[in-house]
Structure 1
Amino acid sequence: MKKIAGVEIPDSSIAKQATELLLEHGTEFIYNHSLRVFLFSSLNGQRNNLKYDQELLYISSVFHDLGLTSHYSSPDLRFEVDGANAARDFLKGHGYPADALRLVWDTIALHTTIGIAEHKEPEVALMYSGVGLDVMGEGYENLSEANRLEIIGEFPRNDFKKNIIPTFFKGFEHKTETTFGNIKADVCSFMIPNFHRKNFCDCILHSPWSE
């Protein structure tokens, strides 16, 4: 196992196969982000003395943004669900039990769901925290300078702030309706001039009910 910032990166056969899929269908940008998410999640787990399945957390991290890629993207599902479905199929093909399939599915599907993911199982909460740290800097104050420099030295951010929003948008610009009710609607609003968000209150007021 290769150690980065004191965290061992799984090198089992299934972990390697998952990484190969990320390298094949993702981009260098998504690869670096996904590995940083795993490391940040793991460091948060260590800091909070949480017990979790390191391999399942790794596989979840590897797959969590693959729903943004053309290979795994569906025409009508949230990209988080596409990634979760892909990971579940991958693990099912390797004979993993139902509990593991459910846990990985939830870990990926909920990784952008503010206010819920952090209250789920450790794997779900940890990856949510790792994504939040890499994307928005949540918990940055808990990351030591030594760990930060070692991680970004191995997996560079490559002008992350400038590139992450267009990367998100490219993954669901063909199905912007899937961002209704979630934070990715902010990405559409940022990228599309005069983007009209679907509104929950409009859905209520314009429902077929007479009163």
Structure 2
Amino acid sequence: MTTSLNNTAIPDSKLAGEATAILREHGTSLIYNHSLRVYLFAAEQGRRQKLRFDAELLYISAAFHDLGLIKKFSSPTERFEVDGANAARQFLTAHNIPEEQVQTAWEAIALHTTPGITQYMKPEVALLFTGVGLDVLGEGFDNFPPNLREEIVRAYPRENFKEGIVQAFFGGFAHKPDSTWGTVKADVVERFIPGYKSPNFCDLIANSPFPNS
């Protein structure tokens, strides 16, 4: 594993090493490389914005953020983001990390696909979202240093990533498509399950058991 790229370093603490080992053991190569890119993108964005953030906590959040897509960590009904957040909570709590830090990691992972909120939260929460946004959607692509971006991608390649990550998403919640309702991942379910249509919010209001008047 590359430990340093330019001024952005991957934490080399025992806790970070154990998180990496879990990611290596249970994640796919696609999720592993994606998670490391997300951290490096996020940490560099934080550095350039002169934000004060806990690099180790941000790294662990990145390492766990997509593990909810993996069968070992996937629940029958919860959103995959919550499954990953719960796995991180269990890991950090087992290492006696203070609850405030545990909650920050939980929020970062649980909200990493939720736009419009994280920028008002703690730096680790905001940065995980922007790191994911850059790697998956290319958000902020032109504002990130091109040489460093290319170096990160060389170290952790994007092998067929655009198609592969969508397949990974669907594989992670194909057994519980209703868990994506109200999230951007509902688009994935509708793309891959013939005839599937997410519930319509207006219909849910109209069908509420309360009378109209």
State yes or no: 1:179 paired with 2:166.
no
Partner of 1:33: 34
Partner of 1:53: 54
> Deviations for 1:64-91, whole angstroms, at most 9, x for unmatched residues?
0000000000000000000000001100
Q: How does 1:161-172 map to 2 (within 5 A)?
A: 161-172=162-173
State yes or no: 1:97 paired with 2:98.
yes
State yes or no: 1:154 paired with 2:130.
no
> Deviations for 1:16-62, whole angstroms, at most 9, x for unmatched residues?
10110011111000000000000000111011110000000000000
State yes or no: 1:8 paired with 2:39.
no
| TM-score of the superposed pair, with normalisation by structure 1 | 0.98
1:145 positional shift: 1.8
Letter in 2 for 1:139: G
> Deviations for 1:98-136, whole angstroms, at most 9, x for unmatched residues?
101110100100000111112211000001000000000
- Runs of 5+ consecutive residues of structure 2 not aligned to the other structure: none
Instruction: Give the Cα separation in 2 of the matches to 1:70 and 1:168.
Output: 12
For residue 71 of structure 1, give the secondary structure of its aligned residue in structure 2: helix
Q: Does structure 2 conserve the Cα–Cα contact (< 8 Å) formed by 1:111 and 1:128? A: yes
1:160 positional shift: 0.9
Instruction: Give the Cα separation in 2 of the matches to 1:4 and 1:154.
Output: 9
Partner of 2:135: 134
Letter in 2 for 1:13: K
Letter in 1 for 2:122: E
Q: Does structure 2 conserve the Cα–Cα contact (< 8 Å) formed by 1:84 and 1:108? A: yes
Instruction: Give the Cα separation in 2 of the matches to 1:21 and 1:2.
Output: 17
Partner of 1:106: 107
- Runs of 5+ consecutive residues of structure 1 not aligned to the other structure: none
Partner of 2:125: 124
Instruction: Give the Cα separation in 1 of the matches to 2:41 and 2:3.
Output: 15
Instruction: Give the Cα separation in 2 of the matches to 1:121 and 1:135.
Output: 22
Instruction: Give the Cα separation in 1 of the matches to 2:157 and 2:22.
Output: 20
Instruction: Give the Cα separation in 2 of the matches to 1:179 and 1:28.
Output: 24
Partner of 2:204: 203
Instruction: Give the Cα separation in 2 of the matches to 1:38 and 1:190.
Output: 28
1:92 positional shift: 0.3
Partner of 1:76: 77
1:2 positional shift: 2.0
RMSD between superposed Cα atoms in Å: 1.0
